[in-house]
Structure 1
């Protein structure tokens, strides 16, 4: 047996097809289905992140991927362009393949407000996430609860309708 190969087939990870991609929907002009490969079209950022995981303790990872803000802006959320504050009524719901959910406000990621460098990671610790799907990474969070693996959906919704 060649050195470095698994000793038995029970140790070999089964080959699976790549995820279908995440569904980007909601109050946006351009709904889409995006794969990790699609996310490479945006400028890639890097972040070294440490966070506490309730089940695994402190985790330290190096992530690469586009900013969530950049990807969502390309989908053209239904903002009133004449009113900067209009962006603050939008919420971002992220869902993972395991059913894990997280909610962010647009103000958190908007450069005019919170400016949080939230990533849609395409790689973790130098390993591409093509087979697993993108991961939501919040470098500013001390707790890892909002880090969502294998994202299946991102929904951008206006909490209150404009003019209401």
Structure 2
């Protein structure tokens, strides 16, 4: 036993304490068993006269004598091997580090939970809807599919006159691709339609359909995708109305373009 303990202690110094505790536990169990053999417990039952002379309590006594619960013999036999196995497991690489807790490096570099993915930035969409056959959800990048126009405009704003260069698709081209639902049974039904442009902050501006159509107003209003060479992909397209001296209808951050029928 001494040579075996010396070998185990070479693997893990803590095994000495484990084997000592197991030996003490085994000795305690053996001493208890010896004491139980040497010092039997005698159970004395009251005589018949004592039972008759004393009032009967509301306690039901067991018809069987008290039984001593003895510890199985194999408990002491397996106590020492079990502790030796626990000590061997404790000596494995990585077990002591796990018991000691996370190191500062692991505390600072927290791992995301399983199945977690970093959020993807949402795209800025704008919608073409209303009296159209093909409603659409578009991005600034989608405007590149339409014929491109570039214009330099000057308009009066609350901060004074401004001059910018815009590039993008014509508003009339985007709406025509969506298929305006004009009524064929109504003469010049297109004259009853207007375009409502809404911004992300709730700002709105209106252009009439004839104002955009060649042969009537022919205004070259743009849904600009760039302003002075800078992309407007994050904030959304900007409406330009180059024939306006004031910039009230230069709607920034367009979120929806709605074709509405105004007439009866």
What's the TM-score bracket when you normalise by the shorter of the two chains?
0.7 to 0.9
Question: In angstroms, what is the RMSD of aligned CA positions?
Answer: 1.7
Rg comparison, structure with higher value: 2
Instruction: Tell me by how many angstroms 1:81 deviates.
Output: 5.1
More helix by proportion, 1 or 2?
2
Structure with greater proportional strand content: 1
Change (3 A) 1:100 1:130: same
The 5-angstrom pairing of residues 1-164 of structure 1 reads 17=121, 19-54=123-158, 56-80=159-183, 85-161=188-264
> Is the CA contact (8 Å cut-off) linking 2:133 and 2:181 kept in structure 1?
yes
Contact persistence 1:23–1:33 (CA under 8 A): yes
- The one of the two structures with greater contact order (alpha-carbon pairs below 8 A, sep at least 6) is 1
Partner of 1:8 in structure 2? Answer: none
**1:38-64 alpha-carbon deviations (Å, 9 max, x no partner):** 11100110110000002x110100000
**How many positions carry a matched residue from both structures?**
145
Instruction: Compute the TM-score of the two structures, normalised by the length of structure 2.
Output: 0.52
Moved more, 16-25 or 109-118: 16-25
Shift of 1:92: 0.4
Q: Is the Cα–Cα contact under 8 Å of residues 124 and 235 in structure 2 kept in the other structure?
A: no
Structure 2 gaps, min length 5: 1-119
Deviation at 1:17, TM superposition (A): 3.6
User: How far does residue 84 in structure 1 lie from its aligned partner after superposition?
Assistant: 7.0
TM-superposition CA deviations, 1:78-103 (whole Å, max 9, x none)? 11357772111111000011211001
CA distance in 2 between counterparts of 1:104 and 1:58 reads: 22
Q: Does structure 1 conserve the Cα–Cα contact (< 8 Å) formed by 2:126 and 2:137? A: yes
